[in-house]
Chain A
Amino acid sequence: MNHYLIKNVRIFDPENHLDQVGDLRISDGVIAEIGQNLNANSKETQIDGQDKILFPGFVDLHTHLREPGFEYKESIATGTQAAAAGGFTTICCMANTEPVNDNAAITRYILEKAQAAAAIEVWPIGAITQGLAGEKLAEIGEMKSAGCVGISDDGMTVMNSELMRMGMDYAKGFEIPVITHSIDANLSRNGSMHEGQVSCELGLKGVPAEAEDIIVARDIYLSQLTGCHLHVAHVSTAGSVELIRQAKQKGLVVTGEAAPHHFTLTDEACREYATHAKMCPPLRSEEHRQAVIAGLSDGTLDVIATDHAPHATIDKEIEFDKAAFGITGLETAFALSYALVLEKKLSLADLLKKLTVNPLKVLAKKYMGIQKSAPANLALVDLNKQWKYQVSESFSKSRNSPFDGWDLQGQVLMTWYQGKRVFDRE
């Protein structure tokens, strides 16, 4: 059944110099043919691509799959299915599972589970320090050999600068990027939202923007010291956008990423103690949101990544200051990002780059995209489709999205992974 002919579709992959209306044939897991007026053979499923657009499948650098350890929030099967519904064909899963992915055995476990249950490609990210405790380096070399594509203590910051320097030096030797979650643990202690007018009015302890800036600045200096590739995850402040901009001007190997919620929402969403607006780093004020958008526009921020962080109701339907950080994001990422194109902050080509080419560059992986004989990893999208996101219909096990009931434009209709149709909205 894995033979498809997509007819009259706008095939869009500027990296491969493609932006044309035509037909694309999928066969035996690969893109078999790109052309005009192709005829379907008897075993092919023909798909009408009229007024639709075909993208290379998206890559998410930042997903929490929760398996092993927190299967009540998400599993590799459900998380990757949600990713497929969002047009993703590759996702990188963060190390903060239970047990933590801080050794090759866990890495192999995740990859084996993914082999059996995942709808799409899963690339694990290993921990920088054992147990994410910030005390002792994890076995980074062995994790890389087992299949980890990057290392990160995501969710925690390695507060000991000496240890961080060691980690970056060590990672550089193994040519693996270090992805950082940047929040000064002391400055943000007990904080549950952005420090500003809203936190002041709500009586909630805030996390000042500077808690992020300080660590980003430190890690940029450590990147300069060690030569290690620093990828700053989920940038939320004007200060860190500026720091990354300057680092790039200096020619340092520093890249940055933004999450859709940080360029879509502000701390105003936390009013009424809405725990679905509680995340780390927190939703910031409007000026920070605009700075993140500006960072995406001028290329300072290379990547859009979801920080898909599923949580069960017992973690979210509770007191704000006790609620878990994070929201689901795989299914809404494309439409929320496409809003930047509609607002003329990004070109469609730039948006696609931040969802495909650039994340692969961060991981030093080869980009194939849409070309003959490449694996058929594709997303069929209707850019004009107006739709309402209903979290009750999510493929994720969790329901913690602040975008429930939102009106969005741009909808992923189908996703293929290695020639297999892994998502079909019909």
Chain B
Amino acid sequence: MAFDFPHILSMSNLSREAMEFIFETTDRFREIAGRPIKKVPALRGKTVINLFFENSTRTRTSFEIAGKRLSADVINISKSASSASKGESLVDTAKNLEAMSPDILVVRHGSAGAPLLLSKMLKARIINAGDGAHEHPTQALLDLLTIRDHKKNIAGLHVAIVGDIAHSRVARSNMIALRTFGAKVTVVGPKSLIPQEIKSFGVGVSYDLAKCIDQFDVIMMLRIQNERLGLTPFPSLREYSNFYGLNLNLLKCAKPDVVIMHPGPVNRGVEVAPEVADAPYSLILDQVKNGVAVRMALLYLLGGGENL
């Protein structure tokens, strides 16, 4: 197939066929990570700007490594370095960057829809690296790839997404992607963190992790994002951890071949007990590894041709 998506903004734009194609391309880049010289000249002369209005180490680094392995010139701009801290509007910031002719902008922003807004106003290709509580498409792609590495078929799997569903862009992108591949999805968490309308994503809902943990093939734990919550919708981290944290005791009831995932960074002892995070069935580091390859694939696929 020809991959003719100008931007990667939301998983809802990507068909199963397109995702399969991304995975296939990713496989080529995984091979490169094993080489002595982990660099190819594919994006030589292209400029990738990582425009991060929110703090992020993992995703930003992952995109940076991906771009550099493709020989692109990668420039990182964080909120404090940009003029946003001086009151410049998002569109002005972006227009000023565009005057320097970047080919791809990787955007993380606290406002849902910010990457879409930029894609409408700028010529550069846009990759959404997380926008508010909306989506985080590259995370979903690397998550699905990681699941596929361990479970072959995604269709028919029962996947739990556990935690702060309301404020999670990782949950939204994963729900869409997993449903597209025919997985069964159940979101689990305190009711105050699960919007009623979440069912429109075609997922089941449970407020009791202990009761349903035996059903899942894959358990994705979400990070409790204290920085994003206003009034805390649960009484304390301790109580949250008691009911929705994953520990060895609870895992005894899970399927023997269950795998555990987490988009990171992990709040050890809150969402995931340290022994669980480090256990062989934990795929947390595989996720990180796949992250670089998926992002290489996307940068490669978007980097073709002249600026459109």
Indicate whether A and B interact.
yes
Most buried by A among B89, B112, B169, B172: B112
Question: A201 vs B171: C-alpha distance in the bound complex, in angstroms?
Answer: 11
Q: Which residue of B lies closest to A200 (CB)?
A: B197
Question: A321 vs B113: C-alpha distance in the bound complex, in angstroms?
Answer: 9
Question: Does any Cβ of B come within 8 Å of A161's Cβ?
Answer: no
Question: Does any Cβ of A come within 8 Å of B111's Cβ?
Answer: yes
Contacts of A205 in B (CB 8 A): 133
- Contact assessment for A273 and B113 in the assembled complex, using a CB-CB cutoff below 8 Å: yes
Contacts of A320 in B (CB 8 A): 111-113, 117
- Contact assessment for A319 and B117 in the assembled complex, using a CB-CB cutoff below 8 Å: yes
Question: A205 vs B110: C-alpha distance in the bound complex, in angstroms?
Answer: 12
On chain A, the number of residues with a Cβ less than 8 Å from chain B's Cβ atoms is 22
Contact with B along A401-422 (1 / 0, CB 8 A): 0000000000000000000000
List A187-221 residues whose CB lies under 8 Å from chain B.
189-190, 195-197, 199-206
* Closest 7 A/B residue pairs (Cβ): A273-B113, A203-B134, A319-B111, A203-B133, A200-B197, A203-B112, A197-B197
Question: Does any Cβ of B come within 8 Å of A318's Cβ?
Answer: yes
With A318-B90, A320-B112 known as contacts, the answer to whether A189 contacts B230 (CB < 8 A) is yes
Q: Return the contact of B89 from the options A200, A318, A321 (Cβ within 8 A).
A: A318
Contact with A along B120-133 (1 / 0, CB 8 A): 00000000000111
- Contact assessment for A196 and B197 in the assembled complex, using a CB-CB cutoff below 8 Å: yes
List B94-144 residues whose CB lies under 8 Å from chain A.
109, 111-114, 116-117, 131-135
- Contact assessment for A317 and B133 in the assembled complex, using a CB-CB cutoff below 8 Å: no
Q: Return the contact of A202 from the options B89, B112, B117 (Cβ within 8 A).
A: B112
Q: Return the contact of B109 from the options A189, A200, A272, A319 (Cβ within 8 A).
A: A319
* CB of B134, distance to nearest CB on chain A (Å): 3
Q: Which residue of B lies closest to A314 (CB)?
A: B89
Q: Which residue of A lies closest to B111 (CB)?
A: A319
* CB of B136, distance to nearest CB on chain A (Å): 10
Contacts of A319 in B (CB 8 A): 90, 109, 111, 113-114, 117
Contacts of A190 in B (CB 8 A): 230
Question: Does any Cβ of A come within 8 Å of B198's Cβ?
Answer: yes
Question: Does any Cβ of A come within 8 Å of B200's Cβ?
Answer: yes
Contact with A along B81-96 (1 / 0, CB 8 A): 0000000011100000
Q: Return the contact of B113 from the options A195, A200, A202, A206 (Cβ within 8 A).
A: A202
* CB of B220, distance to nearest CB on chain A (Å): 17
